[in-house]
Homo-oligomer: A and B are copies of this chain.
Amino acid sequence: MSNLQVQLIKKPDAKYPRVNDVFQVKTASTPTASQLKDGEVLLENLYFSIDATMRVWISGAKTYVDPVLPGNTMFGQAVSRVLASKSQKFQKGDYVIGVVNWTLYQIISDAKLHLVKRGGDIDDLTGYSFLGPLGISGLTAYVGFEAIGKPKEGETVVISAAAGAVGEIAVQLAKTYYKCKVIGIAGGPDKCDYVKKQLGAHDCIDYKNENLSKRLRELTPNGIHVYFDNVGGEMLDEILMHITDHTRIILCGAIATYNQTGEPYKVKNYPRLIIKRAVMQGFLYFDHPELFKPGQATITQMLKQGQLKIRYDVQNGLEQAPNGLAKLLLGQNNGKVVVKAKADQPKL
């Protein structure tokens, strides 16, 4: 078994989402079961999640995780199979989720892992779902609404990056579960079509080709009650002009600011929060473990009833992971970006 490893080789700079060239893919030695210490497992990493927040980690900024510095192996959430175990928690054949290195094989402490399936087989789609609707994307959408947005039936919910991994789940939760009027915002007619026709949003604003301010005035005549913000920056500033009394702004991401260096975008309309007695709150899903079970139950139910459409943008092979991240940061992805660690081989 030969191992692969994706390493950060330099800090990305400038307004530079094309981060694929700050990584290198190397072959590496493969760890073996004989190296395991007590409490450790040997993993085969199967499916990786690609998330916009990785852009922040590789910038070297101090956040809620240690930054990835040049020379470090990149990491991220993944679904993995336990190949060998000296852990009390996991046995050979278990499927687990956790933040692991961008490698094919790895030895890791069991404290960093959660069980998702006990033995047996796993198909790709099930693997992806633990990274998407039943994982970070789904829980992020659910926790954002439950902990901050608190949408009430009939309210108007606006969601940016509505065709994105979190956005598409947020749109469908807001529409089907919370029974709200949902306006998506996305870049380009294809994404907007998807948000309207496939996800069922009331409407979707193509911010690249339409006048956001004018369209928001038309579509939210009573103001925006909940804004699920996956974008930040200038779009957030415009939204602030359309809030109403007691609007809740869920600060989920600021992808618009991740690629900037130097002066970040400055929000000029924040005093609207005072006039409208509105709230703007950042969150991370993992601060609300009490919401995981109800969130997964709600989403599982919707998946079973065909009420939740999820698209995956699959990168074929771990060596494609940097390209997947660049694609996401460039807004060129269609749905949740995941990596299948071992590439499907072309059938000849």
Residues of A within 8 A of B (CB): 56, 61, 63-64, 232, 236, 245-246, 251-254, 257, 263-271, 273-284, 287
A253 to B277 Cα, complex, angstroms: 11
Q: Which residues of B contact A275 (CB under 8 A)?
A: 56, 61, 63-64, 282
A280 touches B277 (CB 8 A): no
Q: Which of B268, B269, B274 contacts A251 (CB 8 A)?
A: B274
List the number of copies, as a whole number: 2
A282 to B273 Cα, complex, angstroms: 5
Q: Which residues of B contact A252 (CB under 8 A)?
A: 274
Known contacts A254-B271, A268-B265, A275-B63; A281/B280 CB under 8 A = yes
Known contacts A266-B266, A271-B254, A271-B264; A282/B287 CB under 8 A = no
Chain A interface main SS type = loop
B267 touches A251 (CB 8 A): no
Q: Which residues of B contact A263 (CB under 8 A)?
A: 268
Which chain B residue shows the least CB distance to A275?
B63
Q: Which residues of B contact A281 (CB under 8 A)?
A: 273, 277-281
Q: Which residues of B contact A266 (CB under 8 A)?
A: 266-268
Which of A254, A276, A280, A283: most chain B Cβ within 10 A?
A280
A246 to B284 Cα, complex, angstroms: 10
A275 to B268 Cα, complex, angstroms: 20
Chain B nearest CB, measured from A64 CB (Å):
7
A275 to B56 Cα, complex, angstroms: 10
Known contacts A266-B267, A267-B267; A274/B287 CB under 8 A = no
Q: Which residues of B contact A61 (CB under 8 A)?
A: 275
Chain B nearest CB, measured from A243 CB (Å):
10
Which chain B residue shows the least CB distance to A63?
B275
A135 to B8 Cα, complex, angstroms: 59
Chain B nearest CB, measured from A45 CB (Å):
27
A287 touches B277 (CB 8 A): yes
> Which 3 pairs show the lowest CB-CB distances between chains A and B?
A266-B266, A274-B282, A273-B282
Known contacts A264-B268, A265-B268, A266-B267; A280/B287 CB under 8 A = no
